[in-house]
């Protein structure tokens, strides 16, 4: 571990410097394309003491969608509530909005019937959910629970045909003693892409706009223009979208620094980064989580303070800084949580939420359908789905790193507190 920190700090020595938060001008932000990334810089601009009330009123109408941070900063600057902003999807956006199907309702009813011991009724609901769902991941979820409620191995065989590597297909592969679904990990001799700055959110915003206007064939061609080690995240993001996510890309970028970590830490950082941003260094979320590892500004400031850094938030668009901060934060989480699923919950929803959930004596204890039922019935939908996806990513990356690992034994550990956390007795 000492070697790890020596290597990482040596590698980042040129990046570790004290800087003041940069000053943003009205004209600079005004010229940015309308995007989430621009919203982030509008928030930064509104938060500057030098921003005038008149400038604030002019720039606020350029946001794509108001969030709490924008509302708060605007009110602090102008002492007024912001005007109503009508959200409009970007030109060329291919989002398809529709009412939620009945699949989730059927699925929940199936779990409730299973808890009551009504396996036949449960399986009928899971079957109805399978028929209503259209997304492969959700169909796989239904097939897994059809197997759990009927013990009919035919459902495992259907799962084995899925192209999606998720916890359900991995569990099915374990039960059938077969290989895990195929995934793609590419490396390139070319190191950089000269026409793209990976750490510039505005460059990423422009590329996303171009991406939304492209056909699948055009996306594939576009992806090839980013085929370099530096742009692995962008390249695989485009390739996955071009094939309608029917191929599963698991890139392993930044090997120079990542090799300094033990395989388990490498796998966890990769697993989280894939889920958070698909390895796009300049990612910005609607809540202004930043960078490849999607750190919220308050956490960036907290970690920077503990490390003795004075740095601009934009430093998180540097992927090496993001890896450094992720490693630091995971060290903190691992003080209390040892299992990758629980760490994923805490990374997404906070350690307090995770502690409360796993301390509940009805969760992750020995019993029928456990620990699967506790994984599936978490009310926090975002944390629940995030945890499942990070866990399957983690298993896949461990195997890619040469550590032969199956998911079933790891899931079964969840009912053994001494192997997973310090919160339960």
Sign of the Cα torsion 10, 16, 17, 18 reads negative
- Return the exposure string of 74-91: e unless at least 16 CB atoms fall within 10 Å of the residue's CB, then b: beebbeeebeeeeeeebe
Averaged pLDDT, 344-348: 98
**Looking at residue 15, what is its pLDDT?**
45
Q: Residue 40 above 70 pLDDT?
A: yes
Give CA–CA dist 246/36, Å, rounded: 27
Instruction: Write out pLDDT tens, residues 191-243.
Output: 999 999 999 999 999 999 999 999 999 999 999 999 999 999 999 999 999 99
Phi, psi of 337 (to 5 degrees): -125, 130
**Looking at residue 20, what is its pLDDT?**
53
pLDDT band at 2 (very low <50, low <70, confident <90, very high): very low
Q: Which of 331, 339, 237 is nearest to 4 (CA)?
A: 331
Inter-CA distances, 346 with 134, 266, 358, 414, Å: 30, 18, 11, 15
73 neighbors 47 (Cβ within 8 angstroms): yes
**Looking at residue 348, what is its pLDDT?**
98
292: which 2 tokens?
A: 């490849």
First to last CA, the chain: 29
Averaged pLDDT, 3-22: 48
Inter-CA distances, 148 with 153, 158, 264, 417, Å: 9, 14, 30, 24
Q: What percent of the chain has pLDDT over 90?
A: 89
**Looking at residue 85, what is its pLDDT?**
85
**Looking at residue 94, what is its pLDDT?**
46
Averaged pLDDT, 334-362: 97
97: which 2 tokens?
A: 């909005």
Instruction: Write out pLDDT tens, residues 316-337.
Output: 999 999 999 999 999 999 999 9
**46: buried, middle or exposed (CB in 10 Å: 19+, 13-18, 0-12)?**
buried
- Show me where the domains of the chain are located: 26-78, 103-158
57: which 2 tokens?
A: 């009123």
Q: Residue 103 above 80 pLDDT?
A: yes
- Say which DSSP state 180 is in: P
Give CA–CA dist 387/275, Å, rounded: 10
């Amino acid at each position: 571990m000492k070697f790890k920190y020596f290597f990482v700090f040596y590698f980042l020595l040129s990046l570790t410097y004290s800087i003041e938060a940069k000053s943003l001008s009205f004209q600079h932000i005004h010229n940015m394309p309308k995007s989430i990334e621009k919203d982030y810089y509008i928030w930064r601009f509104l938060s500057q003491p030098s921003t005038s009330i008149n400038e604030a009123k002019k720039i606020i109408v350029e946001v794509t969608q108001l969030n709490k941070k924008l509302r708060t900063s605007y009110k602090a600057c102008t002492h007024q509530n912001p005007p109503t902003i009508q959200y409009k999807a970007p030109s060329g956006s291919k989002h398809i909005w529709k009412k939620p199907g009945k699949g989730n309702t059927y699925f929940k009813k199936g779990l409730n019937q299973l808890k009551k011991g009504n396996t036949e009724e449960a399986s009928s609901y899971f079957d109805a959910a399978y028929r209503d769902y259209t997304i492969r991941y959700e169909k796989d979820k239904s097939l897994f629970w059809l197997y759990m409620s009927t013990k009919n191995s035919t459902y495992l065989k259907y799962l084995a045909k899925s192209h999606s590597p998720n916890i359900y297909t991995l569990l099915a592969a374990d039960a059938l003693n077969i290989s895990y679904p195929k995934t793609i990990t590419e490396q390139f001799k070319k190191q950089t892409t000269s026409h793209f700055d990976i750490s510039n959110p505005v460059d990423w915003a422009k590329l996303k706009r171009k991406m939304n206007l492209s056909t699948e064939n055009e996306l594939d061609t576009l992806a090839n223009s980013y085929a370099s080690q530096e742009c692995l995240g962008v390249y695989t993001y485009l390739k996955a979208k071009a094939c309608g996510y029917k191929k599963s890309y698991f890139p392993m970028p930044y090997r120079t620094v990542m090799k300094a970590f033990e395989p388990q830490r490498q796998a966890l950082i990769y697993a989280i980064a894939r889920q958070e941003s698909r390895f796009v260094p300049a990612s910005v979320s609607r809540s202004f989580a930043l960078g490849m590892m999607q750190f919220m500004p308050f956490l960036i400031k907290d970690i920077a303070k503990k490390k003795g850094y004075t740095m601009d938030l934009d430093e998180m668009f540097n992927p090496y800084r993001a890896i450094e901060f992720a490693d630091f934060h995971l060290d903190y989480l691992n003080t209390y949580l040892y299992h990758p699923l629980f760490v994923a919950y805490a990374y997404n929803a906070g350690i307090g939420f995770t502690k409360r959930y796993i301390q509940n004596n009805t969760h992750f204890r020995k019993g029928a359908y456990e620990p699967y039922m506790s994984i599936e019935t978490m009310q926090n939908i975002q944390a629940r789905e995030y945890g499942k996806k990070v866990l399957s990513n983690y298993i896949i990356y461990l195997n890619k790193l040469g550590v032969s690992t199956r998911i079933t034994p790891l899931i079964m550990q969840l009912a053994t507190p001494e192997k997973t956390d310090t919160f339960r007795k």
